[in-house]
Every structure is written in structure tokens, then in C-alpha cells.
Structure 1
Amino acid sequence: MHRLIFLFFAILTTTTGLGQTDSDILVQIDDQAITKEEFVWLYKKNNSYLLNDSDKKTPSEYLDLFINFKLKVMEAQRLGYDTIPGFVSELKTYREELAKPYLTAIQYTDQMVETAYERMKTEIDASHILVLLDQSAMPNDTLQAWNKVMEIRNQLLQGADFGELAVKYSEDPSSKQNKGRLGYFSAFQMVYPFEDAAYKTAVGEITQPVRTSFGYHLIRVNGRRPAKGQIKVAHIMKRLDEHTSEEAVNQQKQQLDSLLAELKSGSDFATLARQHSDDRRTAQNGGELSWFSSSGMMPEFADPAFELEDDGDLSHVVRTPYGWHIIKRIEYRPVPDFDKLQDFLSEKIRNNAEISQHSSEIFIQNLKKEYNFEQDHQCLDQLNAAIASSTLKSFRPGNPDEVLFQFADQKVSTKEFADFLKEKANDKVSAQQAYGNFVARTLTKYENSRLEAKYPEFRFLMQEYHDGILLFNLSEDTIWDAAARDSVGLEAFYQKNKSKYHWEERFHGWSIKCENQEVKDFVEAVFEEDPEIREDELSDLLKNHFEKTSAKIRFGYFEKGADKLVDHLVWNAPKPDDFKDGLHFVRGNKVSQQPKTLGEARGLYISDYQNQLEEQWIKELRKRYRVRINRKVLKKIEQEQ
């Protein structure tokens, strides 16, 4: 599960070194300038994915929200949130992921896109046996691995059990536990050669050896099923590990049972997730996970999630290898039509270097052309001769400062190549291969360093992540956790606003459905003897007195629509289909409209209190920072939109 990034507004804040002029500056906050280009890009993005046109804002309306966001980001930087090692590391990780599509050259065809769509509609259940083999393996090692995997295949064709051979021979560490069975997957969830072979193999058949970046695989297809689409859920989790005692397991289950009862009584899911979930990556986002398919998540979690029928439905307390969970369905979507997925599939293929042949070579060739790559052939020949008389790692150049090749404004010396050989080379790679790898790494590293300047959309995306993470961390400390911890402030806020959330007219009492007159007489006798009996006590008496289920009883507060029997007998709603006159009855009284207690609406009041704290915070930031708006530039933006 990847961390969900909190992005109140996806904004751009990089403002230096991009050729801006005074006429381009829209907003100045202290000494930080925000250009028209930056604002317009973000404004268009945030007005492009709205469900209703009425939600769209004019540039002037959006500018106020934009400035508030900028103030928070600047405050986070003033407080040093951008220097925290965790932030620096997380942002670096995101940059590495975002950079990947820009550091390869993918070629693909319409047929590949159509094939990917057909595969997205079907999930494959497969098992495999893996014989590890390095991508740069020498011919003798490759032949040895091939012979081994073919011998295993012959045993399978002669009737040997696939699972037993997976345990015995497979070099995938998980095979000892799963006997090689990988479960269901669909397009883009496996390395491409593996996926391609599996989808081209009939159920029950075993493939020829399939070569991937891991080695040789034998794949058996166990089954196929239609894809179930995707679901978005939130969860509250109590983490377990192999060392957790049985007593602790039961205690955590009881904690989630209690939280589930709170949720069913109206508590806010997001608030409880922030307060109680052990999955800290998602807790502060209300427990929300990314969209996933039935094959993209462990079955113990995916199956109960996909069983939820409606948005807002809650699961029972679910156990997975990682712990206990309560799952809330947020939204479901079936596999979309092809025209809606075409661009997405094209992008996925573009980002998958294994799908396109020679993508790396093409990418390096393009960079060489773009940056006027030139190499000193005489120097290279001398280098090859020198390397031939030694091992790659022990090679030392005669003239370390001699330029081996140059491109753009870069000059690369033979010493740099020697350092690369010492660090990266091995005896299985020829000098020519090592040189090619060095050139590719050098060009790619240079290209990587220029992505922000070369591609505005990459710069914008990086700034989104940068500001989103900063704002998440600062908001967590300043607003979310502060509101939940401030019990005195929350109580005072509730006392001032306790009329905001209230119960409509309710019924307080019993809803009882008896199977026959004998059961009803028994229930009425119990009430006559003990009018204050509890629901669990009455249930126990009925179980002890009657052999079979004799009555369905419910006790508590009922709003309109919560119980069809109560609706009919208390508020004259239509008679339920299973209604038995004289045997189905209610016992209790109407309760007039009344405010909800803080406990009953805690999540709602915390959310409102957080909003109040945020408003106060914005006022403080407006006082701390000087904001100046170029009205002429804003008017020009208004005219252009």
C-alpha cells in the first residue's frame, strides 16, 4: 500500500531561476514571488476535474485560497519542516518514481494498448517455479540454468506435483510457504514477459521457460475469472505480528469491535481512523487507501472489501496477516470502457520499459544527438588496449585527466571511467559493455538533473509533492492532532455550538417480532416482572426457554427509517412485508428532537473545531506575512480564461 499524499491544493511554488520578469509576477509574499505562469497552470488543473460547473471558481476567487495555501507552505518552511530527514527522504523517493517515465524512450502500438485492455478485463491465477539468473550472466551460467529449468519441466510433464517441485527447486523465497502459487493478477501487475506468457497459456498448461529480469520461470495457469473492477476504501487497522500474544490479539479485536459500534452509532470514520489506526501512512488521511482491484490486494482484505454492496457500508472486523481491520467502502467502479482507459493504458505502456523493445538504447541515442555527444576514439582505443592487460576493477589510466568523451557542457575523463569500473564492473562484463554502461549512466544522470528545467509539468508535479507533504505534516501538528488532543477547547466549542447537530424525533424502546402467541405471552410476562430488563438478558431467557429461535428483538434509539416495524407502529409507515399482527409489537416512547451529545457527534464537532482552528491560523499567517497582489496581472488572467 503506497502512502496517500495529502494535497489540499496542488500548487507550484518554484519561483527562481526560470526567467521571470516583474510583469509576470502575480503575487509577492514577503520576498517570494509567484508568477502568472505558475498560478494559471494550477488554476486550470484544479478547475478541470470538477463534477459540477457550479463548483468552478474564477481566478479571483481561487487566488484567495491559493494565497492561504502558500502561506501555510511558507510557514512550514520557516519552521524547518523541509529540513526534517524524513521529509527529505520521502521527497527523494517520490522524485525517483516521477523521473522514471522521463528517463526512457518507450515505443508502442495501438495493438499493444488493445491487448492490455483485454487483459485488464480478466484475472489470471498462476503458480511458478523460478531458477534465478542474473541479466548479465555468462553463457555457461545461462546454459546451466536452462538445463535445470528444463529438467524440472520434464518432471512436471511426467506427472510430478507442481507445488512439491516448487518447494524443492524454486528459488523464489515465498515458494516454501505458498508452493509457488501467486494468486490472481491482471495487466501491469507482473513483469511483462511473465504476464505475456501467462495470458497466452491455457488453464492447466505449463509454459516453456520464460526469461525475465529475475531468471527463468515455469508458469502453470490455474484459473481465469472476469475482473471485478476497482474499489476505493478506508480502513482502521490494529497491527499484529508473529510475536503478538493471543491475549493481545483478542484485546485488539475487542478494541475494533468497540470502534465498529461507535461507527454504527454515527461516529465519523475519518476521525476514528486518525485517532486509532495503526496504519500511520493512511490514518491522517481518514484511513483512505488508493484504488485497488481484487487481484491487487491480499484476498483476506480484498474479498470482504468487494463484498460491501453500497458506498458507506462497513465490514465486520476483518483479520489479515497484518492485523485486524474495519473497512469502509467509499466508491466502486467497474472496468471502464476502452475509450476511457486508452490514454491511461498508453501511459502505463510508456512507463514500462520491458514492453517496448530497445527503449533504453533509443533513449541514450536520442540524448547523444540532443547533447552533441562526442568521444575521443584514439583515447578509447588506448583505453581498451590497457584494459585488456588487466581486470576491469584493477584498471588504472595512464593519463587520468584525458577527456574520454564530452556532451553539452560536460567533459568526462578517463579517471571517472576508472572509478566507475572499480565500483560497478565485474568479470562477467566485457570492457565494451562496461564502457557502454558508463556512457548510459553518465548521460542519464545529466538528463535527470535537468528534468525540472526541461519539463515544466515535471517541475509542477515535484512541487505538488513537496508542498503536499509539508502541508500534511504541518496540518497534522497544528490542526488535526491539536483539535483531537484539546479536550478543554473541544468541550468549550461544543457548548457554544451544541445546537448544530441534533437528533430528529426518535423512538426509544423495543422492536420485537415473536414467532407465535406462546413466545409473545412469555415476553410480556418477563416485562411485567422486570420492566427494566436488558436486551442481552431477554435474549438469554428466550434461548433458555425455547429450543429454536423464537423472537427477533432490538432495543435502543430508532430514527425514522432505522426499523420498518418501528416506522409502521410509531409513525404509521407502510406495513412491513413480514408483519404479523398481534405478534410483532413495539414497547417504549417517542423522544422529541434533542441536541446530540459530544460523544454522539464527536467526529463532527472535531471536524468543525479543526475548521475554526484553521481559520484562526490563517488570520495569524496573514498578519505574519506581507501579501501583495498585482491586480493588472490578475485582470489579464481573468480576461484570458
Structure 2
Amino acid sequence: MKRVILAGFLVFALSLASAAQKKKDVLVTIGKTPVTMDEFLRIYERNNSNIQDPENKKTAAEYLELFVNFKLKVLEAQSLGMDTLSAFRTELDGYRDELATPYLTNVSYNDKIVEETYQRMKKEVYASHLMISVPENAVPEDTLAAYQRVLEIRKEILGGLDFNEAASLYSQDPSAQTNKGELGWFTVFQMVYPFEEAAYSTPVGEVSSPVRTRFGYHLLKVHQTRDAGGEIHVAHIMKVYPQDATPEQKLSARQAADSIYALIEKGADFGTLASQVSDDQRSAANKGEMPWFSRSRMIPEFADPAFELLNDGDISKPVDSGFGFHIIKRLERRPVPEFGEVKREIEERIKRDGERSVKSRDVFVKQLRDEYDFTRNQQAVDDLLHSTVEWLQQDSLVLPDNPAPDPILFSFAGNNVTTRDWISHLKQMPPVLLKNDRSRLNQLFHEWENSKLLDYEDSQLERKHPEFRSLLQEYHDGILLFNISENKIWQKASSDSAGLARFYETNRQKYMWPERFKGAILQCVNNAVREEAEKYLESGVLASELQDLLRLGTGSITVTEGTWEKGADPVIDYYIWKGDKPENWNQETGFVNGELIAPEPKLLNEARGYHIADYQQYLEDNWVKELRKKYPVRINKKLMKKITNG
């Protein structure tokens, strides 16, 4: 909840950021803190440009007053040590992590991947593949053997062996025995990223080079490509037949579908028939409607005839999908969206796609290696990993605390990383992740090496990126402002019962009820009931007692009691304040009974919402006066005049 409140609160507060101070053109000094004219103007102009209503725009002088009050509160929060509290540091660190994320990746490369993904969305690929499986973290010998085997198979295919026959003979993908490696049509995000890369870059009719995925090594052959047809929304009526159906069973299903199609041609309602006779119970419950789908996400036996329907409302003849016969009605079709419509969705899917994200990160790390003159002592690394395997082969995890010698493993930006650093890293890892497997250790070392570079880059963001530094300062000051305002103003205004009561008594004339009507609205079933009700009321009977006294049964009279201001109820307005007669109001049988109440002060509980808001403002005004005494404010009037005069 605090995060939501803070987000809105920072619309003003966070914009009042502290920029790097300059020794010249100091517009205002708050305590000992100088603020330059450039800083103030930048913030003032940015905030005013975000205000659409001209009446709400502030003059420079008006804004300076708000700006100074903000700075005073932040200075006070810092003097109280609120910026040293662990809760504050944790919250600020969380915001920093979020802000740092786009700075720790290759933005231009990310943009390239997003654009590339969108272009692929507009194409579909029909391909076959074969695979020689090898674990992701296999030892180099096994990886090399799998790679060489794939090269041998590729040589056979290029020598004339049919690709699909090769898949049937050699592929270790279990499905190859039935589909001969055919994958059908697919598009972006439907295959693992390295496979997708190869599919979209291999020319039609050609065989790819070996492709490494986490499953093994692949060869793939692209048979066709086509423009993606967007998505289609259809309804269908289905008559199923068993998977091992006899010709007679298929014929029976076909005849049933033909009979239904004949009814549709004679004008029968498609949705009604789908609900009554379709064997697809899930869609039948919704008049045969299916979820939106693209060509590549539906079996071609169904997708092709669906996409061949030219117009909304067109209906296909019965088609055989291999599961049954379908009559398909096109409801709507939409093309591949424009880039701007799906850019955010693509970005989110890329973030969730580990292999794409890793590739982006690796590109960025390579840039860091170049920027920081990264060098590796490969011999020391090889010796270390060999020693690590020996350490992990022992019954219990025994890692030396002070290895001797302690050689440098790699260096960058003047930092030397040694064997001791590696051991310290291993000791922080859960033992279950540590295996005396050289391939696994190679991977761990590579990841650690990258993390050291990324951690260093993270530590340099404030120095390298002024806009990051300024934005983080905004969050720093905004959180402090929120926290000190909560402690000094908001909580106190809600919990200080004695102070609230005193403030109310001093200002009670400010919280007035307007003229009101207190009584009842009465609607009788006929004139006789009205006359009897009026007699009871004249004798002093309360309106709420009429139902029981009249003894005419439920509904003979309706009584609505309350207290109304002008404009609160049209019936009351009509009788008391000469408003328009409400539509459908029968004044022969309806009337009101009660009295006018002159304007009067609200009780404390009645005025509480307005009262607390005013009390908060009262506390804040007094607090700001105290802060201005504690931190004297000195304005450079000459510069302020220059700003005012433009």
C-alpha cells in the first residue's frame, strides 16, 4: 500500500530532485545547502510542463515556495538520521535495483531483439529437424562426440540422403520415429531461441549447420515460409470419430456432419445447432466459439480451411481433421498487430525467455570486458579449477581459507580477482550446487566472472550516468519526505485525539451543516391510506410507526426517513426547496413530513474527514515555520528577479 501511495506522492515530491551543485548562480541557500538557478529552473519547467490546466500552473515565485518547503523537510529527515535506518536503505536499494536494470544491459541490442522478434512474428516457417542429444552441462568429450556425429549425418544428407529419412534413422528425438522429424508450421516463441534463430536464418530448401540447444545438437531443414495470417476467431460444430475408427464409423460421422450442414444451408442458426449437436462439449457450451488462434497454433487440417474463409460469417463445408468432421464459421479475423501495439508485450516475453535474456546479457558483458581492459590468467584459472575438483572429491567440503599461492585469476579496471575470492564465492554457495564436475565448474566460473564485471559496473552507475544519479536522488528524497511527513503530520493528525478536539473547538464554525430537512418521504397505496397516515402524524405518531398502526398489510405505505441537504433527493427538493416535480412521483398519494433544520456546526465525528485534513495542514504550517527558523532560507533576489522577468 505504501508503494502505491508513494508513487502518487512522488508526482510532486520526487520531481524536486537535488542536482549536482555548482559554485555559481546559487538561487537559494537552505541552511547550509545551496541550490543553483539551473537546478531550480530545470525542475520548475519540468513540473509546469506536466500541468495541462493553465489555471494550475505556478509562477516561479509560487513554485520556489513549494520547493523550499520540500528541501526543508528532507534536510530535517536527514538531520534525524532517517536516511540511515535499515528500512529506508532496504527500500531505496529496492528502487535502485529497478532503476539499474536497463543500465546493466545492452539497450541497443535489446531493441534489436525486439524488432527482430516482431519481424519474425510476421512469418511462419515449416521445417524438419533431427537431434543428437547431449546434456547441457556435458563434459567436453561428450559434447565433441555429439557435434562430430551431427556433422557426419549432415555430410550424408548433403551427399543425397533424404533429410526426413535421416531423421527417422538417426534422430534421438523420440517423435522422429512417427513424424520423420517434421515439425509443421511454427513462429516466434514456439521453439527454443537457438533453434528459432537457425530456422529463420536458413534459406528454404537448405540444411542448417549444427545448432546447439539445451537438448543437444540439431540439424534442421526449412521446407517453406509464408506470411503469418494473423489470428482468427471461429465457431465450429464437430462430429467425432474414434482414433482407430473403421471406415463405417468415419462414414457415419461424415453423414451426421453433412446433415447438420444441410440444416445450416436452409437457415438454421449455427450457434443453436452447435449447442445442441456438437461433440466438442467445451465449445458447444459457448455456441461453438473457440479461442482466437493463429495458423501455426492449430493443426493444419483445421487451420487451413478456417483461414480460407474470406469473410466474417462464411461457413465451411464439413472438413476432416483426423479427429472428426468440422463445420467452421468465421466470426472475425485480425492481422498481425502493428509494432507499437505489441512492443511492450514482446519486451515482457523476452524478459521471461531465459535464452534471449542471457544472450543480451552476454553481449553487454563483452562490452564491459573491452571497456575495462579485462584480462584472464588462463593458466591460473585452469590450475584453480583442477584444484577445485580435487577439493570437492573429498567426503566433506574442504576448501582452504588461505590458499598459497594466491594468484590473480583475472583483472579489470584496476581490480585483481584472486583464488581467495573464488574460494570465498564457493563457500557462500549451497553445497548441493557444488559438484566435482569440471564442466559444471567451468560454467560456475564463467557465471562468477561475469557477475564480478556486472557488480563493478553497477557500482559505477552514479558516476557514469548523471540521469541515473539524479533519478536515484529523487527517490532518496521522496522516500525521506514520505517517511517524515507520515511521522510528523499524517499519523499525528489521526491519533492526536486531544489536539483534534482542541482544533475542532477553535474552528467549529468552519464545519457547518447547510439548511437541511429532517423527516420522512411517504408513499401510500391510495388516497384513503394517505388521509389516515396524515391523521396519525398530526396526533404525534412517528412516521416509522405508521406501518404497524395502519394494519393494512405490507406495501400499503412506504416510509423513508432521513436528513437531507438541498440537492440530495428530488422529492425533498420538490416539496421543500421548490424544485422540479420528479418523474413518476404521484403527489396525490405521496407526501413528506418533517421540519427544516437551520444551519448548525457539525459534530466532531461528522466533520472528521474535513477536520483531519485541515488539522494536517495546520500541523504542517507550524512545522514549516519551525524548520525555517532552524534552517534559515536566503534567496538571491537578483537572480529571482531575472527568472521572473524572463
**2:633 paired residue among 612, 620, 627:** 627
Task: Report the Cα offset of residue 587 of structure 1.
Answer: 0.8
- The structure-2 alpha-carbon separation of the partners of 1:439 and 1:630, relative to structure 1 and needing over 3 Å to count, comes to farther
The residue aligned with 1:614 is: 620
The residue aligned with 1:474 is: 484
Task: Report the Cα offset of residue 9 of structure 1.
Answer: 1.4
**1:404 paired residue among 391, 409, 427:** 409
Q: CA-to-partner distance for each residue in 1:74-103, whole Å, 9 max, x for gaps?
A: 111222222333223222222223323322
In 2, Cα distance between equivalents of 1:557 and 1:406: 80
Task: Report the Cα offset of residue 23 of structure 1.
Answer: 1.2
The residue aligned with 1:414 is: 419
Alignment of 1:12-411 (within 5 A): 20-23=21-24, 25-36=26-37, 38-105=39-106, 106-107=110-111, 108-110=113-115, 354=354, 358-391=359-392, 394=398, 399-411=404-416
- The structure-2 alpha-carbon separation of the partners of 1:48 and 1:594, relative to structure 1 and needing over 3 Å to count, comes to same
Task: Report the Cα offset of residue 202 of structure 1.
Answer: 9.3
SS at match of 1:498: helix
In 2, Cα distance between equivalents of 1:389 and 1:608: 73
The answer (yes or no) to whether the contact 1:43–1:59 under 8 Å persists in 2 is yes
Task: Report the Cα offset of residue 60 of structure 1.
Answer: 3.5
Greater fraction helix: 2
Q: CA-to-partner distance for each residue in 1:209-245, whole Å, 9 max, x for gaps?
A: xxxxxxxxxxx9999999xxxxxxxxxxxxxxxxxxx
Q: Does 1:561 align with 2:567?
A: yes
The answer (yes or no) to whether the contact 1:509–1:555 under 8 Å persists in 2 is yes
The residue aligned with 1:507 is: 517
The answer (yes or no) to whether the contact 1:353–1:359 under 8 Å persists in 2 is no
SS at match of 1:47: helix
The answer (yes or no) to whether the contact 1:50–1:56 under 8 Å persists in 2 is yes
Q: CA-to-partner distance for each residue in 1:521-569, whole Å, 9 max, x for gaps?
A: 5544553554335x4x556778x8524x444322122122211211222
In 1, Cα distance between equivalents of 2:290 and 2:456: 46
In 2, Cα distance between equivalents of 1:539 and 1:411: 92
In 2, Cα distance between equivalents of 1:47 and 1:104: 33
The residue aligned with 2:443 is: 433
The answer (yes or no) to whether the contact 1:516–1:583 under 8 Å persists in 2 is yes
**Counterpart amino acid of residue 472 in structure 2:** M
The residue aligned with 1:464 is: 474
SS at match of 1:553: strand
Task: Report the Cα offset of residue 604 of structure 1.
Answer: 1.0
- The structure-2 alpha-carbon separation of the partners of 1:585 and 1:12, relative to structure 1 and needing over 3 Å to count, comes to closer
Q: CA-to-partner distance for each residue in 1:294-314, whole Å, 9 max, x for gaps?
A: xxxxxxxxxxxxxxxxxxxxx
- The structure-2 alpha-carbon separation of the partners of 1:339 and 1:518, relative to structure 1 and needing over 3 Å to count, comes to farther
- The structure-2 alpha-carbon separation of the partners of 1:372 and 1:514, relative to structure 1 and needing over 3 Å to count, comes to farther
The residue aligned with 1:9 is: 13
Alignment of 1:595-610 (within 5 A): 595-610=601-616
- The structure-2 alpha-carbon separation of the partners of 1:339 and 1:477, relative to structure 1 and needing over 3 Å to count, comes to farther
The answer (yes or no) to whether the contact 1:400–1:415 under 8 Å persists in 2 is no
The answer (yes or no) to whether the contact 1:72–1:471 under 8 Å persists in 2 is yes
Q: Does 1:453 align with 2:457?
A: no
Q: CA-to-partner distance for each residue in 1:150-207, whole Å, 9 max, x for gaps?
A: 9xxxxxxxxxxxxxxxxxxxxxxxxxxxxxxxxxxxxxxxxxxxxxxxx999999xxx
In 2, Cα distance between equivalents of 1:400 and 1:521: 110
In 1, Cα distance between equivalents of 2:339 and 2:444: 44
- Kindly indicate whether structure 1 or structure 2 has the higher relative contact order, using CA contacts under 8 Å at least 6 residues apart: 1
Task: Report the Cα offset of residue 21 of structure 1.
Answer: 3.7
**Counterpart amino acid of residue 488 in structure 2:** T
Structure 1 unmatched ranges of 5 or more: 117-134, 140-149, 151-198, 205-219, 227-336
TM-score, structure 2 length as denominator?
Answer: 0.57
Task: Report the Cα offset of residue 72 of structure 1.
Answer: 0.8
In 2, Cα distance between equivalents of 1:27 and 1:225: 66
Task: Report the Cα offset of residue 435 of structure 1.
Answer: 1.4
**Counterpart amino acid of residue 490 in structure 2:** W
Q: Does 1:578 align with 2:584?
A: yes
The answer (yes or no) to whether the contact 2:516–2:563 under 8 Å persists in 1 is yes
In 2, Cα distance between equivalents of 1:115 and 1:514: 72
In 1, Cα distance between equivalents of 2:619 and 2:535: 55
Structure 2 unmatched ranges of 5 or more: 122-134, 140-174, 176-229, 236-281, 292-336
**Counterpart amino acid of residue 507 in structure 1:** F
Q: Which has the larger radius of gyration?
A: 2
Q: Does 1:532 align with 2:538?
A: no
- The structure-2 alpha-carbon separation of the partners of 1:43 and 1:540, relative to structure 1 and needing over 3 Å to count, comes to farther
In 2, Cα distance between equivalents of 1:11 and 1:85: 24
- The structure-2 alpha-carbon separation of the partners of 1:374 and 1:545, relative to structure 1 and needing over 3 Å to count, comes to farther
- The structure-2 alpha-carbon separation of the partners of 1:630 and 1:570, relative to structure 1 and needing over 3 Å to count, comes to closer
Task: Report the Cα offset of residue 438 of structure 1.
Answer: 0.6
- The structure-2 alpha-carbon separation of the partners of 1:451 and 1:575, relative to structure 1 and needing over 3 Å to count, comes to same
Q: CA-to-partner distance for each residue in 1:463-521, whole Å, 9 max, x for gaps?
A: 23222222222222222232333444434433443333433332221112223345435
- The structure-2 alpha-carbon separation of the partners of 1:96 and 1:567, relative to structure 1 and needing over 3 Å to count, comes to same
Aligned-pair identity in percent equals: 39
In 1, Cα distance between equivalents of 2:57 and 2:340: 23
